[in-house]
Amino acid sequence: MEAGVPGAQSQLWFWDGKQWCPLSPDGLWHWDGERWNPTPPGSPRVRALDAPRPKMTDRLKSTPRWLIWRWVAWILLLVAWVPIVEVAASHHVPATTLIILGSCFGGAAVISTVVFGSSLGHRRAWGYLAWSIVVGAALLGLVIFMSFSASVPANQDNPGVGIGAMFVTVICVIPMTLLLYAGSGLGALRRRVVHRTVDPESAVSASHFLKLGGPT
């Protein structure tokens, strides 16, 4: 452990412009989820129960760039199989080809979901995990609905399209959520193993410290 860095925490929190960070007992250090950082002198401190919640606009502005790029890459791989299978089916490709396309792009969706969840678990970004489920479900449902609508002739009004799209979306969102949670668990486990291997003392301190729940 670095000299001068505390191994304990207080009930005070510090807003670093992106997230609430627990302070050390002397208030000179704050924990950002990965390491201890010096706290700027004169910074306002609040108790956990009194900490004001940041506005939604502030949360959106403070969304990390790494998360945005990973969201984009994950969403593209998550939904790619839907239009590809729909276009292939509309052109009456052989069943074997359709199965191969669905397996390849469906496999890419599964792998990308586990990898993305692992990256969130490794960073302990549990709040972003919940948002990822919402964003993934919404965009996946939208793409499925658009694909179902494209398969219906323009001069026909089929009320079953919306019901069918909703049914397929639910079937897809359930495993997506499970895969995200499984990936996040693997990422958290990998982080724990790596930290204990590199620095057992600091890993134990961080594990004890992160048991605290704080304002979001």
180: containing domain: 63-198
pLDDT for 213 equals: 45
- H helix intervals, the chain: 56-61, 65-79, 81-90, 95-122, 126-150, 160-198, 200-209
Residue with the larger pLDDT of the pair 206 and 166: 166
Same domain, 93 and 171: yes
31 near 45, Cβ under 8 Å? no
Same domain, 180 and 150: yes
pLDDT per residue as tens digits for the range 96-107: 998 999 999 999
| Percentage, residues of the chain above pLDDT 90 | 33
Residues comprising the chain, all counted: 216
Same domain, 138 and 173: yes
Same domain, 113 and 44: no
Distance CA 68, CA 42 (A): 32
pLDDT per residue as tens digits for the range 141-153: 999 988 888 776 6
Domain assignment present for residue 210? The answer is no
pLDDT per residue as tens digits for the range 171-200: 999 999 999 999 999 998 988 887 666 544
Mean residue pLDDT across the chain: 78
Distances (CA, A) of 192 to 21, 32, 143, 189: 20, 16, 37, 5
Same domain, 130 and 180: yes
pLDDT for 3 equals: 44
Domain total in the chain: 2
Distance CA 63, CA 204 (A): 28
pTM of the model: 0.63
Q: How many CA atoms lie within 13 A of 192 on its CB side?
A: 12
